[in-house]
């Protein structure tokens, strides 16, 4: 090829390059946000809005009360409304909060929350306008006697809010909260992966929330079973063992601390002045110099020294686990089983992010005998309904040997039996396999923790099942005795030449005593059983 | 709670909100780009750079020659270099092309290409600076006697290139191409999911590319087996049956066409003037009015009318399938089997995007008898090495009944036997399950097409295997005859009082004839077999 042609081609190719906005990217890749089919899309819209409402109310320490409406409007079209009693959004902030992707406050905080990405709410609006061409209505007040009314769309090319209409009315009404109404393409079902199932699971993991659902076919009310909220998780500083060199370099440049020593103690968790000096010593850096003065070589020395020093684990008040009691109660409320148990593991760390695993199990009773066990997956109190097969929770379950704990299982598959397994991962940063946040990425340390929790509840389950089996065996033995006892008594009576009745009575009381002991033994193993 | 507190809380929460840059988002979610562990990270870096080089050379119609170097530099650190003979990048364009995420030319084109997102190359640079804190070196010329030298980083907060150093030298050297050097944290392996395995599979699907690999332990050269490139796929306009209402509304606003009729014929594929009038008629819209004049109600009417009219499928010269011949040759080159076959399906459409499925199979010979079959997955000529379980290709394979085609299989699992199954999906827009582009999302129409292709090759495989079994049975029968023939001949000789030799010869030629027919029959079934 002639060189002049190459120059032309290269220049031509350059002309076609341009910036792709985040909105354009996710509009085209809408399956990444959970909008790949109409059934899932409707669920995703409700989920994103409810998650935001729960986060907002909890952060403002208000007991959540959330209204959800899904009304059909033609074939495969629905009007969705979600309203909360949260603190509301200020008039000025509404357009950016909901009309721009990648905008929010939770991304930068090391603290457990449902949303983090600043994509959820705006993603729902993006999906609404993509499928119906219509704006979304947002009504909000922060309790100052004024109400904001917005009709909002997203300017996809710019990833900026497009305000179709806006009013701020001083109506004197004193209320606080956000009400969002949008029209979307979707399909409504009531089966496994559905809006009612999602809300039911939300109620299990958030028993302090009141949720009223007005669906196309029915009205559901999930009332509070607890009137107190869990403590608000605290924001923490990054742990030195979890950061990366590139992030450290950026922190060094932008810190307000004047010396390396104060930078280390102020901008990280778990570094006191002694440790800061030890790190500087290891790195051969003067602790009194300015962080901005560190070049790339020094930064790397500092980074390596930070990895070498022994440190206690990150603080864990940034987490808000459900707790064993709440898990057991949640399972009892929803499933009629004969045995319940739960385990909350101590916090662990992956890439510097604290996380905590909890597992609950319900077994027997009215749970279906046939088919695989029911799996309930949660992250930061949010139920996950899709991509079960791709999730670290499922991978941990299928690689656990359940035959050991009394359930049937063939190879590496979901165990079979009358059981529900509930797993909750609480973390300041959950690594999801995609932006739709329906499955946890398979980090080995996370899978390991889940398996440890599963094994703990597994052992309790095994004790229950084997106790039950022992009792059944004892029952059968007793029945046999009962059947033959009169004959035995007669035989003894003949041999000893005594009356058979006293002998029979004596034999019967002996048998009764021995089986009672077994029943008591079983009773002791079922701590936490209220079924 | 007092209302004044709520106002304060709402205002406080607002203050913390801010924009999250795309770079920040993917830096924190780096597992979404394929950087979740050191082994995979090293592969992802090489993959993204090689994919870009192949796209650039092909678009400029230059036979690709690509150099790849991976050199260890300390524990878990590597220097990676990729150089191509493509058209190069203009001096001005280098920073944006590589120093900004979501920037490129391929996102907006309906045409098959490897990259689309404008994330690959810049994502690798982001990973490099995150793990080593160092800039990436880019050297390029477009054949104009000047060479550009850049040291580039990404300003993560702004998602903008940060130029560490820049020179444009008029050195009079006439060359074209791009050379990228970066240092990354990683781990080098040579097993299943590795750089050498990736390059080997690239060579299978791109036999017109020359690739030279200088690894830590060895040098590999993949030479051209074909000296001609496939025709450049053509860019197409969107098909009316694949767009969405929101997109149509945007197109109506931004089109340069002055009437609805010309808008329909110019901005879409497969709409002639007759169809355009039919659509307008159905929608009750005057074809002569300006597209900008359509309100939301009219847009929806137009949209519905577009979905109603019968249209031929989208053009398919936007696709570049490998073809049955190339697939067979590729398999023959890499695997010593006894039987090879391939099928290229006619193009299909999902959400308006043309796509095409191809499947190849190699069987028997020196392929391992034990264990599951080897699966090779490709999209747009790019091998996929990770997330096999989450991929539509795997799902199509495990839900196909392979026992019917002569392979062992237990339930819904990967079939077992001495076989390689290669699947290629070519499309203008591949729906990946995440930005790392390692698995295809499970769209039902895509799974269906893959299954149809698998069934076609399956039937050919079955004919081969059953032919082989027939021949083996025939062989056994012949051996039995051979053993008893002399005795039979002797018996006949005694009964007929003739000499045994002529009888034996006659019997033997009869047997030979009948087995020859069978061997021929088998021969005919093995079209395409060159093993």
Task: Encode A483-523 in three state secondary structure.
Answer: HHHHHHHHHHHHHHCCCHHHHHHHHHHHHHHHHHHHHHHHH
What single-letter DSSP state applies at residue B13? Answer: H
Q: What is the pLDDT of residue A177?
A: 97
- A93–B296 C-beta distance less than 8 A: no
Same domain, A449 and A471: no
Pairwise CA distance, residues B53 & B87, whole Å: 10
| A349 within a domain of the structure (yes/no) | yes
B177: which 2 tokens? 């191409």
Same domain, A292 and A196: no
Pairwise CA distance, residues B153 & A9, whole Å: 27
Chain B residue whose CA is closest to A411: B410
A126: which 2 tokens? 């993006």
CA distance B486 to chain A (A): 54
Angle between helices B245-254 and B260-267 (to 10 degrees): 110
Same domain, B388 and B512: no
Same domain, B247 and B365: no
Same domain, B42 and B177: yes
The residue among A64, A143, A173 with the most chain B CBs within 10 A of its CB, best to mutate, is A143
| B4 within a domain of the structure (yes/no) | no
| A293 within a domain of the structure (yes/no) | yes
Chain A residue whose CA is closest to B85: A6
Residues in chain A with CB shorter than 8 Å from the CB of B443 are 36
User: The domain spanning residue A248 has which CATH number?
Assistant: 1.10.8.50
Pairwise CA distance, residues A380 & B78, whole Å: 37
Same domain, B349 and B359: yes
Q: What is the pLDDT of residue B1?
A: 63
The residue among B120, B130, B142, B437 with the most chain A CBs within 10 A of its CB, best to mutate, is B142
Domain end: B462, B485, B509, which one? B462
For B392, the enclosing helix (H) or strand (E) is: helix B392-398
B290: which 2 tokens? 């300006």
Nearest CB to B9: which of A60, A156, A245? A60
pLDDT single digits (tens) A437-481: 999 998 888 999 999 999 999 999 999 999 888 888 888 877 777
Same domain, A479 and A448: no
> Quick count: other Cβ atoms within 10 Å of Cβ B252?
22
Residues in chain A with CB shorter than 8 Å from the CB of B178 are none
A211-A214-A216 Cα angle (round to 5): 145
Same domain, A208 and A190: yes
Look-up of token digits 């359509």: B294
Pairwise CA distance, residues A102 & B20, whole Å: 5
Q: What is the pLDDT of residue A515?
A: 56
CA distance B27 to chain A (A): 9
Chain A residue whose CA is closest to B389: A390
- Cβ contacts of residue B145 below 8 Å, gap of 6+? B170, B171, B172, B173, B174
* Coil/strand/helix, residue B291: helix
A115: which 2 tokens? 């949303």
A118: which 2 tokens? 């600043």
Q: What is the DSSP string of A294-342?
A: --HHHHHHHHHHHHHS--PPPPSTT-----HHHHHHHHHHH---SEEEE
Q: Which of A3, A153, A429 is nearest to B31 (CA)?
A: A429
Domain end: B462, B485, B507, which one? B462
Number of domains in chain B: 4
| A316 within a domain of the structure (yes/no) | no
Residues in chain B with CB shorter than 8 Å from the CB of A88 are 6, 10
CA distance A247 to chain B (A): 6
Question: What does the radius of gyration of chain B's CA atoms come to, in whole angstroms?
Answer: 30
Pairwise CA distance, residues A432 & B406, whole Å: 39
Residue A423 CA neighbour count, 13 Å, CB half: 29
- A25–B133 C-beta distance less than 8 A: no
Q: Which of B156, B22, B36, B130 is nearest to A244 (CA)?
A: B130
| A385 within a domain of the structure (yes/no) | yes
| B160 within a domain of the structure (yes/no) | yes
* Coil/strand/helix, residue A132: helix
The residue among A133, A135, A304, A351 with the most chain B CBs within 10 A of its CB, best to mutate, is A133
Distance of CA A209 to the CA centre of its chain: 16
| B313 within a domain of the structure (yes/no) | no
Pairwise CA distance, residues B417 & A482, whole Å: 59
CB–CB contacts below 8 A, A to B: 219
Same domain, A53 and A181: yes
Same domain, A175 and A301: no
CA distance A178 to chain B (A): 11
Same domain, B108 and B206: yes
Q: What is the pLDDT of residue B7?
A: 86
CA distance B220 to chain A (A): 28
- A435–B299 C-beta distance less than 8 A: no
- B14–A93 C-beta distance less than 8 A: yes
User: The domain spanning residue A432 has which CATH number?
Assistant: 3.30.230.10
- A435–B143 C-beta distance less than 8 A: no
User: The domain spanning residue A70 has which CATH number?
Assistant: 3.30.565.10
Same domain, B168 and B304: no
Q: What is the pLDDT of residue B515?
A: 57
The residue among B2, B14, B117 with the most chain A CBs within 10 A of its CB, best to mutate, is B14
* Coil/strand/helix, residue B372: strand
What single-letter DSSP state applies at residue B35? Answer: -
CA distance A491 to chain B (A): 59
| A315 within a domain of the structure (yes/no) | no
Q: What is the pLDDT of residue A514?
A: 61
Residues in chain B with CB shorter than 8 Å from the CB of A130 are 244-247
Domain end: B430, B462, B494, which one? B462
Pairwise CA distance, residues B268 & B313, whole Å: 12
The residue among B4, B12, B19 with the most chain A CBs within 10 A of its CB, best to mutate, is B19
Q: Are B95 and B12 within 8 A, CB to CB?
A: no
Residues in chain B with CB shorter than 8 Å from the CB of A27 are 246-247
Q: Which segments of chain A have a pLDDT < 70?
A: 1, 511, 513-531
Pairwise CA distance, residues A488 & A507, whole Å: 9
Q: What is the pLDDT along chain B (531 residues), one digit of tens a residue?
A: 677 888 888 888 778 888 999 999 999 999 999 998 899 999 999 999 999 999 999 999 999 999 999 999 999 999 999 999 999 999 999 999 999 999 988 888 888 999 888 899 999 999 999 999 999 999 999 999 999 999 999 999 999 999 999 999 999 999 999 999 999 999 999 988 999 999 999 999 999 999 999 999 999 999 998 898 888 899 999 999 888 899 999 999 999 999 999 999 999 999 999 999 999 999 999 999 999 999 999 999 999 999 999 998 888 889 999 999 999 998 998 899 999 999 999 998 888 789 999 999 999 999 999 899 999 999 999 999 998 988 999 999 999 999 999 999 988 889 999 999 999 999 999 999 889 999 999 888 899 999 999 999 999 999 999 988 888 888 887 777 777 777 777 877 887 888 888 888 877 777 676 655 444 444 344 344 433
Q: Are B70 and B78 within 8 A, CB to CB?
A: yes
Pairwise CA distance, residues A407 & A465, whole Å: 9
B437: which 2 tokens? 């582009």
> Quick count: other Cβ atoms within 10 Å of Cβ B348?
19
Residues in chain A with CB shorter than 8 Å from the CB of B103 are 17-20
Domain residue limits at B283: 240-308
pTM, rounded to two decimals: 0.86
Look-up of token digits 């030890």: A278
Residues in chain B with CB shorter than 8 Å from the CB of A59 are 9, 13
Q: Which of B514, B517, B521, B522 is nearest to B481 (CA)?
A: B514
Nearest CB to A245: which of B61, B131, B244? B131
- A28–B429 C-beta distance less than 8 A: yes
- B296–A97 C-beta distance less than 8 A: no
In terms of DSSP bridges, do strands A176-185 and A103-104 run parallel, antiparallel, or are they unpaired?
unpaired
């Amino acid at each position: 090829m002639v060189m002049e042609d190459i120059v032309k081609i290269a220049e031509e190719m350059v002309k076609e390059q341009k910036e792709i906005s985040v909105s354009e990217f996710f509009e085209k890749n809408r399956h990444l946000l959970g909008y790949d089919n109409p059934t899932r899309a409707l669920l995703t819209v409700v989920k994103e809005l409810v998650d935001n409402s729960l986060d907002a109310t909890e952060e403002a320490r208000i007991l959540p009360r959330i209204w959800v409406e899904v009304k059909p409007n033609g074939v495969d079209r629905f009007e969705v409304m979600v309203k909360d009693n949260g603190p509301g959004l200020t008039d000025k902030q509404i357009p950016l909060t909901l009309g721009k992707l990648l905008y929010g406050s939770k991304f930068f905080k090391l603290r457990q929350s449902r949303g983090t990405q600043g994509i959820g709410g705006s993603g729902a609006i993006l999906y609404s306008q993509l499928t119906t061409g219509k704006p979304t209505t947002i009504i909000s007040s922060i309790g100052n006697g004024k109400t904001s009314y917005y009709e909002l769309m997203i300017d996809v090319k710019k990833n900026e809010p497009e305000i179709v209409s806006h009013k701020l009315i001083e109506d004197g009404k004193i209320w606080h909260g956000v009400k969002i109404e949008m029209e979307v393409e979707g399909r409504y079902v009531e089966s496994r992966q559905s809006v009612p199932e999602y809300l039911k699971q939300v109620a299990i993991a958030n028993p302090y929330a009141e949720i009223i659902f007005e669906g196309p076919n029915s009205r559901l009310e999930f009332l509070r079973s607890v009137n107190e909220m869990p403590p608000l998780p605290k924001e923490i500083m990054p742990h030195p063992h979890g950061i990366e060199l590139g992030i450290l370099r950026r922190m060094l440049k932008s810190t307000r601390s004047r010396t390396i020593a104060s930078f280390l103690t102020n901008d990280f968790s778990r570094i006191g002045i002694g440790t800061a000096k030890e790190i500087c010593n290891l790195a051969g850096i003067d602790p009194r110099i300015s962080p901005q003065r560190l070049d790339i070589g020094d930064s790397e020395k500092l980074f390596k020294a930070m990895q070498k020093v022994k440190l206690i684990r990150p603080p864990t008040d940034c987490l808000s686990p459900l707790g064993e009691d709440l898990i057991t109660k949640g399972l009892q409320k929803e499933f009629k089983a004969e045995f319940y148990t739960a385990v909350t593991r101590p916090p662990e760390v992956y890439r510097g992010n604290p996380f905590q695993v909890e597992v609950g199990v319900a077994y027997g009773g009215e749970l279906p005998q046939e088919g695989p066990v029911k799996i309930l997956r949660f992250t930061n109190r949010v139920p996950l309904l899709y991509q079960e097969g791709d999730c670290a929770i499922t991978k941990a379950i299928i690689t656990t040997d359940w035959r050991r704990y009394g359930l049937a299982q063939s190879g590496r598959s979901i165990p079979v039996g009358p059981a529900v397994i509930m797993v909750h991962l609480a973390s300041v940063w959950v690594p999801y396999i995609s932006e739709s946040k329906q499955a946890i990425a398979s980090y080995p340390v996370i899978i390991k923790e889940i398996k440890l929790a599963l094994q703990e509840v597994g052992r309790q389950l095994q004790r229950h099942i084997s106790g039950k089996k022992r009792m059944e065996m004892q029952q059968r033995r007793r029945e046999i005795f009962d059947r033959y006892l009169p004959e035995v008594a007669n035989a003894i009576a003949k041999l000893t030449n005594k009356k058979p009745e006293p002998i029979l009575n004596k034999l019967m009381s002996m048998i009764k005593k021995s089986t009672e002991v077994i029943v008591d033994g079983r009773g002791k193993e079922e701590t936490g059983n209220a079924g």
